[in-house]
């Protein structure tokens, strides 16, 4: 069984790493806040003091980090991934970053002799816990094949999309659509409420027709109750919308509704809602 490293033990990283341990992989972990390693070490993982030490101990190292700045810092910073990578070792970054960030990390890893795969995921906390994420991989095909058993422990659908950057672009397109859907659901519930319609009946009608989908089914009742347990932090959705808008600018593609959705999420950040679930954007819609 391969030795796997895991860097980044947040809302997504901890359950993903847990599933790797359950699948029988020997795991070495690091997190910027060391206390977050305790749940994994209790299951048998080994915690070390730096990303460099994770890479040194592992055949393949996986990272799941909050944003492009964190992903690049962990890769290229002092005692980072590049400092420990060697020929034959693989690095898989599952963070959601801009395509240019993925390419910069890939170049740094390759110049140091390693192999690189980007593999952002579609899915939030519950799919991470259940091992049912959708994994959007691109980069080194050989590393993709070598890492498949580990990826299969974390995801239900694993796609190989080609060159580095394609995985990041796919993830941004998916989250652009998801962010827009969420804002429309919240506005619909807010309008219906002011018109005297029961949220439960609105959701029942939506779930009975062409726009029925798992996200509305899962998030709708919680929104109606004013509850926003964090599965995907609002601040991360706003980050992804910003990155998607930047991608649209690169290709000259107008993104009118995404831009409007981004403004709602920015307003929600201004209200201090960034750590809540992204469905808390409903607070903006209800004003």
How far is residue 168's CA from residue 166's CA, in Å, rounded to a whole number?
A: 5
Residues, the chain:
287
Burial class of 152 by CB neighbour count within 10 A (0 to 12, 13 to 18, 19+): middle
Strand partners, 157: 134
**Which residue from 263, 239, 248 is spatially nearest to 67, judged by alpha carbons?**
239
Cβ-contact 266, 238 below 8 angstroms: yes
Please, which residues have CB within 8 angstroms of residue 173's CB and are 6 or more apart in sequence?
244
Strand pairing class (121-122; 115-118): unpaired
Q: Which of these is catalytic: 89, 103, 125, 171?
A: 171
**How far, in Å, are 120, 203, 275, 277 from residue 240 at the CA level?**
12, 26, 15, 14
Give the 3-state DSSP-derived string for 133-202, with helices as H, strands as E and coil as C.
Answer: EEEEEEECHHHHHHHHHHHHHHEEEEEECCCCCHHHHHHHHHHHHHHHHHHHHHHHHHHHHHCCCCHHHH
- Tokens at 178, concatenated: 């998801």
Q: Is 38 a catalytic residue?
A: no
Catalytic residues, by residue number, are: 171
């Amino acid at each position: 069984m391969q030795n796997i490293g895991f860097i980044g033990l947040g809302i997504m990283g901890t359950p993903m790493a847990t599933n790797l341990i359950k699948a029988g992989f020997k795991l070495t972990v690091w997190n910027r806040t060391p206390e977050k390693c305790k749940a994994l070490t209790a299951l048998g993982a080994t915690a070390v003091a730096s990303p460099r030490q994770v890479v040194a101990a592992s055949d393949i190292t996986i990272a799941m980090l909050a944003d492009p700045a964190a992903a690049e810092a962990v890769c290229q910073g002092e005692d980072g991934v590049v400092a420990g990578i060697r020929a034959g070792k693989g690095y898989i970054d599952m963070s959601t970053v801009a395509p240019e960030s993925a390419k910069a990390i890939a170049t740094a890893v390759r110049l140091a002799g390693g192999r690189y795969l980007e593999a952002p995921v579609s899915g939030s906390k519950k799919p991470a816990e259940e091992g049912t994420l959708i994994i959007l991989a691109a980069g080194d095909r050989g590393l993709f094949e070598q890492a498949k058993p580990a990826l299969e422990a974390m995801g239900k659908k694993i796609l190989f999309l080609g060159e580095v950057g394609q995985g990041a672009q796919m993830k941004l397109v998916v989250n652009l659509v998801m962010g827009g859907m969420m804002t429309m659901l919240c506005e619909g519930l807010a309008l219906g409420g002011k018109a005297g319609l029961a949220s439960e009946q609105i959701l029942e009608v939506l779930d009975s027709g062409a726009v029925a989908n798992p996200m509305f089914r899962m998030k709708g009742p919680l929104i109606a109750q004013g509850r926003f347990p964090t599965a995907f932090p609002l601040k991360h959705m706003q980050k992804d919308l910003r990155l998607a808008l930047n991608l649209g600018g690169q290709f000259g593609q107008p993104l009118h509704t995404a831009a409007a959705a981004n403004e709602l999420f920015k307003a929600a950040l201004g209200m201090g809602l960034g750590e809540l679930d992204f469905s808390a954007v409903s607070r903006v819609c209800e004003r």
